[in-house]
A and B are shown apart, each in its own frame.
Chain A
Amino acid sequence: MQFVHSEEQQLIRDSARELLAAHATPAQVRATLQQPLGYDPELWRQMSSELGWVGLALPTSCGGAGLGWVELCLLQEELGRRLVASPFFGTAALAAPLVQALASEAQQRVLLSRIASGKVRIACVLGGADGRPPPEGVSVELRAGRGGARLQGVGDFVIHGDAADLLLVLTRAPAGLRVAVIAATAAGVRVQPRVMLDLTRPMARVEFTDVAVTAEELLGGEGAEQGIEQGLQRARIALAAEALGGAERLLQMTTDYVRERVQFGRPIGSFQAVKHRLADMMVQVEAAKSAAWYAACVADECPAQLAEAAAIAKSTCCDAFFDCAANAIQLHGGIGFTWEHEAHLYFKRARASAVLLGSPAWQRERLTRLIGGGAAATPLF
């Protein structure tokens, strides 16, 4: 039992922090918003191909680094701290665990090697316009058609949907849920980028009209639901880590500001009305750290606790992120409400992250079912 990051893990965090401090400054992040791709291709090249971040948690047999979710989540935390827009989350934190949980060995060799190479960007189509999280929200149908299976339907809220090489699509088949991985350029796929509240995580609507799917492109057979659930839990934990990074940055930013801003002849950070709010932010940030770090460990070590740890991490970290963003705007005063200040970028990311993959309230409802909705409570110790 050693619930602290090892020296190697801290090294990974530090080097990520350093890289992003140099290449994802607030000005650069803002400039990225104007990019047609919605992310900085040079930074993505460094992260994916040069530094091997995308393959960090993938097996060495596929060209990955063979590390775990704890390490991947450290990267997520640093990316969240800087609000970096990139295909990293969709590819490494969402698609990869789904492929690992569902694909056959042969499929894994091909797909995971491509992911680990850093040369492929994957966008995941999880649900439709009603925005419900999977499995309820799965909106694309998989039907038997002329000469093979066909995809039909509309997916929405697809992260970086317009800058993907592959689409990973959760589909509803007559026998249950299945996953298809197809080329984004396949005939019958139409991608429409949307203007979203969160400017740093572009999303698109993706329409599938009679799109052909080969057997090799289909992952998961009987009981795919369980694998999908497992992959999504890992993604939720990675998203929680990202939210934690954002919350930490907001606490730091706001602390710095109230130390410098002088009113009534004193730094406003000396007033209890202000400092107590910051203290509350820190209480939330520390709880979020415990939640995210513990859940990442669980993803590597104890699959039996995965559902519970993911629900706790996702709800705790997203609530902390949103509350910290709201407090950051309030404590920065008028300047915090301007377009020029970065507080709103965090506030918007916080809101979008909260609803992604199931809102905090949705996570808590799941938790209630886990602990007491009829079943015996899980042991605490």
Chain B
Amino acid sequence: MKLGFTDAEERFRGEAAAWLDAQLSGPFRDIRGVSSLAGMLERRQAWERALGAARWSCIGWPQEYGGRNATLAQQVIFAEEYARSGAPGRIGHLGVELAGPTLLAFGSAEQQRRFLPPIARGEEFWCQGYSEPNAGSDLANVRTRAVLTDAPGGREWVVNGQKTWTSLAQFADWIFAVCRTEEGSHGHHGLSYLLIPMRQPGVTVRPIRQMTGEAEFNEVFFVDARTAAANIVGAAGEGWRVAMGTLAFERGVSTLAQQMNFRNELDAILQAARSNGTLSDPDIRQRLAHAYAGLKLMRYSALRMLASAEAGRLSNEAYTYKIFWASWRKKLGVLALDVLGPKGEIAAAAPYEWQLLPQLFLGSRADTIYGGTNQIQRNIIAERALGLPREPRG
């Protein structure tokens, strides 16, 4: 057990901090602190390219693909400095955190050479095609079909079906999608993990308006969409295993950056409580402390998770991480409105725009749904981590 960092690691911290500060008080001053999913899109794409050019985008990756072969400690340090500097949310995160690590773990050498460098350079953006209208919690019920077909330029997968809740699809270049490639197969058998270009006539993206009033998610329709036969990760029929591998990467170093956004939200609540006097309310004081403790616990747990992952284990806290943060943030949203009082219910602008805290109140209702609902998380914890008998499944 050791919490501190070595001198060499602290020097690395200095180097990272200096670069970030120079950028964010210089050319990227205008997007400092922007955390929305897709606001100021073009500027943030430019930021992704700047990170890539200086090799700060995917520091844990091998050098040949644009990374730095950074150690775990260095990745933790960079995540901390990134957050501390107020750098904007990573618009490339689905490629950087999910597609890339999946390719590193399961992709062919050729796929790694083709896809990883453009992700690291911030030139190609990705989205994730898992959920479908009838495959939510029951993710294995995927109906989107892909059939291998002869074509003039070589064999191709022809894809038909619909994905939903697809964040950032509106500007993604590629989608990694779970498709049914074995006629008549059921459940997690007969699925394949395909990489499909988004910019083609067979792909249509339609935004979905959420209860917050914004449209961050999309529906993606495939009508005879095409991708080369080689754009399959793992073998045909192995898609489920690869898809589950991708989900494990959601518990990576990026969780530390996510916590910084939470910290900003909690700070805003504290600030509001101080200025409107609710800080003297004993109930509010208890809940603020609870929230702060929860945030610290997330950090401690993330450090444990990362240390275990480095030792090649998926430890128990990794199973509990998602339900913990999601439940925590939903509570934080309610606390935010209790601190603001009725004023929190006045919109910032027409037609239906909100400041940070009401936005948190509304937006956090999705946290315990996406990425596996709290109910599904509890099944996973009980069955996989505690070894209880499985729920009967059709």
Contacts and interface: CB of A to CB of B under 8 A. Distances in A.
Interface in B266-296: 267, 270, 273-274, 279, 282, 285-286, 288-290, 292-293, 295-296
Contacts of B80: 381
Contacts of B389: 259, 266-267, 269-270
A360 to B, nearest CB: 9
B381 interface: yes
Contacts of A300: 1
Contacts of A5: 1
B137 interface: no
Given A2-B2, A4-B307, A367-B292, 8 more contacts: A2-B1, A3-B1, A3-B306, A298-B3, A302-B3, A363-B289, A368-B289, A372-B270
Interface of B is mostly: helix
A297 B297 contact: no
Interface string A257-290: 0110000001101101001101110110011011
Most chain B CB atoms below 10 A, which of A9, A315, A381: A381
A4 B304 contact: yes
B379 A258 contact: no
B296 A279 contact: no
B108 interface: no
A367 B84 CA distance: 22
Nearest to B76: A1
A59 to B, nearest CB: 19
Interface of B: 1-5, 9, 73, 76, 80, 83-84, 256, 259-260, 263, 267, 270, 273-274, 279, 282, 285-286, 288-290, 292-293, 295-297, 299-301, 303-304, 306-308, 311, 316-317, 319-320, 323-324, 375, 377-379, 381-383, 385-392
A365 B285 CA distance: 7
B320 A283 contact: yes
Contacts of A377: 267, 270
Contacts of B274: 372
Interface of A: 1-6, 9, 70, 251, 255, 258-259, 266-267, 269-270, 272, 275-276, 278-280, 282-283, 286-287, 289-291, 293-294, 296-298, 300-302, 308, 311-312, 315-316, 361, 363-365, 367-368, 371-373, 377, 380-381
A279 B1 contact: no
A280 B270 CA distance: 28
A90 to B, nearest CB: 25
Nearest to A280: B378
A381 B301 contact: no
A368 to B, nearest CB: 4
8 contacts: A1-B5, A4-B304, A4-B308, A255-B388, A296-B1, A297-B3, A315-B289, A372-B270
B335 to A, nearest CB: 13
